[in-house]
Amino acid sequence: MLRKLFLILTSILIITVLLVPKESDYFQRLENDYGKIHYSVSLNKEMLKEVGEYEYRNQLIYSKFEYSFGSISVSYYGFLNIILFQKSKNRVPKSPNITV
């Protein structure tokens, strides 16, 4: 009984680890989301890598992806080959108020 439970849990863990979204999956999702917002402009994965900064973190059973382009930043997380949108930020640089 204990051996069966161990085998089932090990199998579930292996499947979970193998189905964690990869970096290329996140770029595909980002490309699709960008295309939905900007109909007239399309960017492929290579162009997205060139124009923005990104960070991909693979934790054992899930992964996280953050992408920044100019003042816009988006983040996603994934589990079992499902990529979910987490948040977006529009970072407006603060300019000092100068009065004369």
What domain range includes position 62?
A: 2-90
Is residue 53 a part of any domain in this protein?
yes
Number of structural domains the chain divides into: 1
Single pTM value for the model: 0.77
Distance of CA 51 to the CA centre of its chain: 16
Is residue 78 a part of any domain in this protein?
yes
- Residue 48 clears pLDDT 90, i.e. is over it: no
- Residue 79 clears pLDDT 70, i.e. is over it: yes
Label residue 32 left, alpha or beta by phi (over 0 means left) and psi (-120 to 50 means alpha): alpha
Is residue 80 a part of any domain in this protein?
yes
pLDDT confidence tier of residue 81, bands split at 50, 70 and 90: confident
Helices and strands: H and E segment counts in the chain: 3, 4
Mean predicted confidence (pLDDT) in 62-73: 89
Is residue 46 a part of any domain in this protein?
yes
pLDDT confidence tier of residue 98, bands split at 50, 70 and 90: low
Between 17 and 10, where is the model more confident? 10
- Residue 41 clears pLDDT 80, i.e. is over it: no
Residue 93: the pLDDT is: 62
